[in-house]
Amino acid sequence: MKAIHHALALMIIAGASHTVHAQETLEIIVPFAAGGATDIVARSFEPVFSEQLGVTSVVRNLAGASATVGTTEVAKREGNPNIIGYAPAGSLSIQPSLKDLAYGPDSFTYICRTTSNPMFLMVSRSSDIEDFDQLVAASQEQPLLYGSSGPGTLPHLAAAALVVESDLDASHISYSGSGPAMNALAGNEIQFMADTETILENYDLRPLAVFAAQRIEGYEDVPTINELGLPEMEFSVWQGVIAPKGITEERKAQYSDACKATLESDRFKSFAENAKAGIAYLGPDEFESFVKERFEANKQVLHDAGLID
């Protein structure tokens, strides 16, 4: 009997200590599994960010369903000032159009955009395709295949938009991540893919064009999509910090100041350089209008490519 009493007492203490703990801790939801590319950025962001805010924080990985599970968790905590999410582009600007989700672009308080990397159109270096015209010509001889890291991801959308707008004849195959897709590209199972500079640098790939308004520093000889005589297309892989709706303006300002300071810190800068994450700060208002603008643009692409009605 005594053992049971002790156990009960212990449980109450454990429970109570948790409540105290919860009030002082900032919960940072990362909608990806621990160790993934986004998780690593988030985990490098977190210590500097909480130092700036002067709070302790815990990173909670809540993965699944193209990052929408974790993003939903943030949206659900309306009015809670102690939770933020480190969200990727897909779950904020693509998934709400594809799926029936509990959130939309209006469900958050936007804090800041942290990083953004433009996407490149690329082929394997072992292929003899040197530019976009050759890719189009090859596709008219025999229809090509392009890969992506999953259905409804940015690599899928960027390539789909390109196929819709150009004479390129190609269809989509999705893989369970960038790695398997790169394997398929190296083995000529697929012929081209759209992805970021990180991927371009890590594998044996040749860039044909960049999905950006201007040419990119370090890749001056890679033309933009617009220069190829096609309508302007901007696709980039970005991430940002979001909070639930209904937090005070004061809290919002604290968060965005801390975010700005984090991105300007040497510690985060040196990490970003290693990880090839392009720091691209946008403040709360600019970030909000940016997300909404991307949401509409992606919706249009999904519609044109026949992925939604």
Partner 1 sequence: MDIILAAVGDAFAWQALLAIVVGTWAGIIIGGLPGLGSVVGLTIFLPFTFGMSTITSMALLIGVYCGSVYGGSITAILINTPGTPQSAATTFDGYPMTQQGRVDEALGWATFASFFGGVLSCVILIFCAPQLAKFAVNFGSIEVFALICLAMMCIVGVSKGSVMKGLVCGMIGFFLSMVGSDPITGADRFTFGSYTLSSGLTLIPVVVGAFALSEIFVRFSSRDDPGAKIPEARLRLPKLGEWFKRWIELVRGSLIGSFIGALPGTGAAAAAFISYATAQKMSPRRDRLGQGEPDGIIASESSNNAVTGSSFIPTLALGIPGDVVTAMMMGAMVIHGITPGVRLMVDQAQTVYSLFVVLIIVNVAMLILSKPSIGLFRYLFRLHQGYVMAAIVMFSFIGAATVRGNPLDLVVAAVTGILAYALRRADYPLAPLVIGMVLGPELESSLRRGLLIKRGDFFELLTHSGISMALFSLLALLIVWTVWSSIAQWRAAARNQPSYD
Residues that bind partner 1 (CB under 8 A): 33-37, 39-40, 43-44, 60-66, 68-69, 72, 98-99, 101-102, 145, 150-152, 171, 173-177, 179-180, 182-184, 186-187, 189, 201-204, 271, 274-276
Q: Which CB sits closer to partner 1, 268 or 290?
A: 268
Q: Which CB sits closer to partner 1, 8 or 34?
A: 34
Q: Which CB sits closer to partner 1, 88 or 223?
A: 88
277 Ramachandran zone, left/alpha/beta (phi>0; psi -120 to 50): beta
Contacts (Cβ under 8 Å, ≥6 apart) of 94: 152, 153, 154, 157, 298, 302
User: CB 249 → partner 1: shortest distance, Å?
Assistant: 30
Strands 25-30 and 108-124 come out as unpaired
42 closest CA partner among 31, 53, 26, 55: 31
Q: Rg of the Cα trace of the chain?
A: 22
User: CB 97 → partner 1: shortest distance, Å?
Assistant: 12
Token readout for 84 is 């933020």
- What is the C-alpha separation between 156 and 309, in angstroms, rounded? 17
Q: Which CB sits closer to partner 1, 103 or 211?
A: 103
User: CB 137 → partner 1: shortest distance, Å?
Assistant: 21
DSSP 3-state of 285: helix
60 closest CA partner among 36, 39, 81, 44: 39
User: CB 215 → partner 1: shortest distance, Å?
Assistant: 23
Q: Which CB sits closer to partner 1, 55 or 65?
A: 65
Angle between helices 266-275 and 249-264 (to 10 degrees): 70
User: CB 156 → partner 1: shortest distance, Å?
Assistant: 9
Amino acid letter at 157? L
Q: Which CB sits closer to partner 1, 180 or 283?
A: 180
Token readout for 207 is 């860039």
User: CB 40 → partner 1: shortest distance, Å?
Assistant: 5
- What is the C-alpha separation between 183 and 149, in angstroms, rounded? 12
User: CB 273 → partner 1: shortest distance, Å?
Assistant: 9
Q: Which CB sits closer to partner 1, 181 or 282?
A: 181
- Asked whether 110 and 154 are in contact (CB, 8 A), the reply is no
Contacts (Cβ under 8 Å, ≥6 apart) of 206: 122, 123, 124, 125, 127, 129, 130
